Amino acid sequence: MRHIRIANRKTVARAWLACLMVAAMIALAACGNGNTAGSDAGASAGGASSGSGKEQKLIIGMSAANIPVPDTYPTEGFEGMRFVGYQLYDALVNWDLSDPDQPAALKPGLAESWETSEADPTLWTFHLRQNATFHDGTPFNADAVIFGLDRIMKTDFEYYDAQIAGNSGSGLRYVDSYEKVDDFTVTVKTKGVYSFLLYDLTGILFGSPDAIKTSGKDYANHPVGTGPFKFVSMKLGQELVMAKNESYWGGAPKLDQVILRPISDSSARLAALQAGEIDWAEVPPTESIPQLKNAGFQIMTNPYPHVWPYVLNVQDGPWKDVKVRQAANYAIDREGMSAALLNGAATPATQPMYSGHEWYSEDGEPYTYDPEKAKQLLAEAGYPNGFSTTFIVPTSGSGNMWPIQMNEYVQKNLKAVGIDVKIESIEWQSLLSSYVQGFPKDKEVGAYNISLPTISPSFYSTFFATSAIFPNGINIGGYSNAELDDLIGKAMAEFDVVKQSEYLKQASAILADDAPWIYVVHDLNLRALSPKVKGFVQPQSWFADLSTVSIQ
C-alpha cells in the first residue's frame, strides 16, 4: 500500500514524487484606539473582551448578511465554512493554516493517515484518529464516518439530508463506494483513478450521529462536531456563540469564546470595530486602511487561491462569441480598480490563478487595459455598436469584498466600449441558491458575478469541464473545450505532482484565451483586528485557524 502523509506543500510534492501519492481537493479611525468592553461567557455579546479579565472572548464582524446555519455544510459560502464549519467540525483531511508564506496545504484531520492500493489506485484506505470525541461525548469512529457519508450519498438512508447533499455532494461525486473495515479504518473507492480526492474530502464535515438522530430536522439548532469550538447559542441575523472545546484532539484553543456577528455593510463593520463592539472586522472599507493603521489596528492581507470574476452564459447571445468575451476582458481596468478603488487590497486577474501560483500560466492571454482593442474585437464579432445585457451580482458576502462599488466600476468600463450592463443586485445566500440552479430561462442574464475558490485542482473540472463528460459540476455557463477536458482528465489521473501541475498550467492558458469568464481581480483577504488580538496567522487560504488566537 502507498502511504500518504501531508504536512506542507513542499512535503506534499516530495511525497507525491517519491511515492506516487495523491492530493485532491468554495472611514475614519478617530475612535479607533482598540479598546473593548467585556461581557459574560455564553451570554449575548454586548461588547468585545477587554483582555484584562480571565475570559478570552473574540467577537468577529462577518461580511455575511446572516449567521451561517451551522449544519455540516454551513450556509453563507466559504465565510460560513471559515467561521463555523471548521470551528465546530473536522473533516477526514484538514487544511494546514500555519504557514503564511505558501498556499495552504493538506494535513491529517479525523484521518491520521491514508494510502492508495498499489494494485488498484482507485482504492483508498483511511486510518482514523482514535483520540477524537464529539462534543456530546460520543466517540468518533468508522461508524460515524459511514453515517456521515450515507447522509450525503444514500437517498434511501433514514437520515439522508437533501440540502446537505446538494451543498456538499459535489465533493463526493467521484466516490463510487465506501465501507467500514474495522472501528478505525474505512475504505473509499473512486470512479476511476482520481488524484484529487484528498482535496475534495476537506469539505466533508462530520457531525455526531447521535445528535443528528436525536434532533432530526432541528439538528442545525443543536450542532455537534469534533472541532476546536462547541456550539453554545444562535440568534439568526444577530449572533452565534461558540465555546472552547477543552478536550479537542488537536489541543484546546486559547480563546474561551468566539462570537460571530453578521454585518453585511462594510462601513458598519468599520464603525463596530472602532467603537470596540467587535475585535475583528472582515474586509473593512479600503479607504479606512491608513487611518486604522495609524490608530494601532492590525491590517492583514495575503494572497490566496481566489478569483472575483463574471461567469458568462456562453450558450446563447453575444457571449457565445469568444471575441466578445475577450473584448470584455480587455475593457477592464484591473490595475486602476486594484490600486485606486481597492487601495491595494486586490491584484489584477487575467485567468483563474494568480501570478506565482503553481497552476498559473505565463502563456495565457494577458488582458491589459485596452479599450480600443475591445472595441475592435466587438466590431469583428458583429457588434460595432455594442449590446445590452444583465449581470446578477451580490450585495455582500464571502470573498466579494465591496461588490456594489466594484460592479459599478466594471459597468463603467464596459459601457465605455459599448457593452451596456444592467446590474441586478441580490443578497449573497440568495445569489448562491440562484447560481447553482443555472442561468434563468425566462429572462436574459449574461453573467453572474460571484467570488470563487481556486484552492483545489478539482476547480477546473467543477467550473469548466464539459458537463456530459464530467457530471455534477457547476459549469452553469455551458462552456466546453475538448482540449481542456483532455488536460483535466490527465491531471485527475496523475499522481506525480509536477506532471499534474503542468497539465493544470496548460488548462489555465486555455481558460485565459477562451475567456469563458471575465476575470477581474484576486482578493487579498483584507481584515482588520484590534491590537488586543494576538497569535493569529494570516494564511494563504479562505480559512482561518482560531485555535492559536488569544486576547490580551
Pairing of strands 452-453, 185-190: unpaired
For the cut 90, the answer to whether the pLDDT of residue 548 exceeds it is yes
Whole-number Å distance between alpha carbons of 84 and 69: 8
Task: Answer for the pair 421, 293: CB distance below 8 angstroms, yes or no.
Answer: no
Which residue, among 260, 256, 264, has the nearest Cα to 398 in the 3D structure? 264
Which residue, among 364, 270, 346, has the nearest Cα to 309 in the 3D structure? 346
Mean pLDDT of the chain: 90
**pLDDT at residue number 166:** 87
Whole-number Å distance between alpha carbons of 276 and 380: 56
Whole-number Å distance between alpha carbons of 147 and 262: 32
Task: Answer for the pair 284, 342: CB distance below 8 angstroms, yes or no.
Answer: no
Give tens-digit pLDDT for 247-274: 999 999 999 999 999 999 999 999 999 9
Residue 283 DSSP one-character state = S
In the chain, residues under CATH classification 3.90.76.10 are 1-26+90-222
CATH class given for the domain over 1-26+90-222: alpha beta
Number of helical (H) and strand (E) elements in the chain, helices listed first:
17, 23
Query: Across the strands, what pairs with 218?
Result: none
**pLDDT at residue number 105:** 93
User: What's the grid cell of residue 95?
Assistant: 487544511
**pLDDT at residue number 54:** 67
Whole-number Å distance between alpha carbons of 105 and 250: 17
In the chain, residues under CATH classification 3.10.105.10 are 306-523
For the cut 50, the answer to whether the pLDDT of residue 197 exceeds it is yes
Task: Answer for the pair 77, 436: CB distance below 8 angstroms, yes or no.
Answer: no
Write the CB contacts of 80 (distance below 8 Å, at least 6 apart in sequence): 64, 68, 69, 74, 398
Helix H or strand E segment including 241: strand 239-244
Whole-number Å distance between alpha carbons of 331 and 350: 12
Considering the segment(s) 33-71+227-300+526-552 as one domain, its CATH architecture is 3-Layer(aba) Sandwich (3.40)
For the cut 90, the answer to whether the pLDDT of residue 17 exceeds it is no
Highest mean pLDDT among 1-15, 34-48, 499-513: 499-513
Give tens-digit pLDDT for 310-356: 999 999 999 999 999 999 999 999 999 999 999 999 999 999 999 98
**pLDDT at residue number 472:** 79
Which residue, among 367, 9, 25, 75, has the nearest Cα to 199 in the 3D structure? 25
> Is the model more confident about 124 or about 355?
124
- Among 3.10.105.10, 1.10.238.10, 3.10.520.10, 3.40.50.300, name the CATH number for the domain at 306-523: 3.10.105.10
Which residue, among 514, 521, 466, has the nearest Cα to 324 in the 3D structure? 514
